Amino acid sequence: MNRSLVKKSTLPLAGALVGIPSAALAGEAVAEVAGAAVLYVANNTWMLVATFLVFIMHLGFASLEAGLTRSKNTVNILFKNTAIVAIGLLTYAVMGFNLMYPGEFSIAGFFGFSGFGIGVSPENMMVAGDDGVGIYTYWTDFIFQAMFAATAATIVSGAVAERVKLHSFLIFSVIYVALVYPWVGSWKWGGGWLDTMGFYDFAGSTLVHSVGGWAALAGVLLLGPRLGKYVGNSIKPIMGHNMPLATIGVFLLWLGWFGFNGGSVLSADPVAVSFVFVTTCLAAAAGVVGASALSWLVQKKPDLSMALNGCLAGLVGITAGADVVGVMDSILIGFLAGLLVVAAVLLLDRLRIDDPVGAISVHLVCGVWGTLAVGIFSAEHSLLTQLIGVVAYGVTCFVAAFVLFFLLKVTIGIRVDEEEEMRGLDVGEHGMEAYAGFEINNV
C-alpha cells in the first residue's frame, strides 16, 4: 500500500462516522457500512498501537547508546535522545509532514510542499486505500509518520557520542530532520520520482536508517575519533560502561520494531501484519547468530556488543522488504546482515573512523544491504532500480549532512575541547552526573 494515499474522503463510511443515521441506509448498505466501520476502527487502533511501539524504540536507542558509552557521558546521551524526539515531532508538525507528503510535486517528482502546519479539519478526513475504503484517520497518519522522523537523528546521536557539542548537534538535528529527511522521503513514500521508477523500501532500510547512517558518517568524519582511541598503530578499545542497559535497549528496539515494520503494513490486515512479524523476528534472530559466530571466530571470544548489534543489523536489513521476501529468505538476509555488521565495525576501526556504538555499521551498511536485498530476493523488484535509489539517497544525504556539519564546524564548532572530553560531557555540558556519589572508572 502506498504511503502517499492521503486524501479527503466523501465515502458513505465517512458520513456514517459523522452522524448519518443508519436507518437512512437499508439492507446490504447498512451491513456494508457497519463492516467498513469496524474495519476502519480496527485499522486505526492497530496503527496507534504501532505508533506506541515505535515511540518505545527511542527509549531503546537511549538505553543502548548510554550503555555502550562511558558513564561520564550518560546524561549527555540521554538528553540528546530526549531532545531528538521533541525535535522530530515538532518539525514534522510544522513542515515535515507536508514536505514528505506534498500531494503534488512542483519539480517532476523531485520536490513538493503543501504548506506549513497540520491544521486540517478531521471532519471527513481519513486515509483511503485504492478501493476507496477508509483505513485510518489523518491524525493517526501524522503521528505514526512523525515517530519515524526522529529516528534518523537518533542514529546520528550514537555515532558522534562522547565528543560532539550539544548545541551544534541540536542545530544539525533540527535542520536535517525538518528539511532533508522529509524531502528525500517524498521521493518514495510521498509518491515522487523514485516511487514512479519502482524503487521499493517497505519500512525504511534506506529512507530512515541509511538516511541517518549517511549523516552519521559525515559527522564522524568531520569530528574525528575520540581521544585515546587510536594510538600509534594500535586500536584501543573504549568499553561501554553498562552492558545490561545496552542489552535492555536492544530488546526494547526489537519489541518496537514490530510496530516499525508491522505498522508499515498501514492496516490491520491479519495476514500481512502477521507475515511481517515473522520475517522481522526471524531476521533479527539470524542477525544475532551471524554476528555472534563471526565475532567469536575472529576475536576468539563471544562478544555481547557484536551480538546486540547483530540483532539490530538483522532488523535494519529486513526492514526494506519485510512484506515481499520469503520467510526463509528473511533468515538469510538477517544472517548476512549479522556478518556484515561485524565486518563493517572491524573495517571502520582499521580506517580509524570512530563510531562508539556501531551506528554506521548497523544503520548505513545494513540499510544499504537490506534495500539491495529486495532486488535480489523479490522477483517483483529490480536490483538496478534499488541500486539507483541507494545511490540517490547516499549522495544527497551525505552531501547535505557534510555541508551542515562543516558549516557548524567553521562557525560555532562541533567538538568539545580536550579538557571537557576527558572530564566528560555530563559535567562539561550539563553540570551534573548520571551516577553522582559513585566511583566509576571513566578512562
The answer as to whether 126 is a domain residue is no
Q: Which domain holds residue 275?
A: 51-105+149-230+240-430
**What is the 3-state secondary structure of 79-94?**
HHHHHHHHHHHHHHHH
pLDDT score, position 106: 84
The answer as to whether 24 is a domain residue is no
pLDDT band at 222 (very low <50, low <70, confident <90, very high): very high
pLDDT score, position 17: 44
Whole-prediction pTM: 0.91
Kindly state the helix (H) or strand (E) to which residue 135 belongs, with its residue range.
Answer: strand 134-137
Q: What average pLDDT score do residues 276-287 get?
A: 98
Number of domains forming the structure of the chain = 1
The answer as to whether 326 is a domain residue is yes
The answer as to whether 10 is a domain residue is no
Classified as helix, coil or strand, 17 is helix
The answer as to whether 143 is a domain residue is no
The answer as to whether 40 is a domain residue is no
Q: Which residue has the cell 524504540?
A: 57
pLDDT digits (tens, 9 = 90+) for 126-185: 676 666 566 888 899 999 999 999 888 899 999 999 999 999 999 999 999 999 999 999
Q: What is the CATH number of the domain that holds 87?
A: 1.10.3430.10
The answer as to whether 224 is a domain residue is yes
Q: What gap in Å lies between CA 247 and CA 304, rounded to an integer? A: 9
pLDDT score, position 28: 66
The answer as to whether 32 is a domain residue is no
pLDDT band at 108 (very low <50, low <70, confident <90, very high): confident
Q: Which residue has the cell 551498511?
A: 365
Classified as helix, coil or strand, 148 is helix
Q: What average pLDDT score do residues 224-238 get?
A: 91
Average pLDDT for the chain? 90
Q: What average pLDDT score do residues 374-386 get?
A: 96
Q: What gap in Å lies between CA 155 and CA 130, rounded to an integer? A: 34
pLDDT band at 5 (very low <50, low <70, confident <90, very high): very low
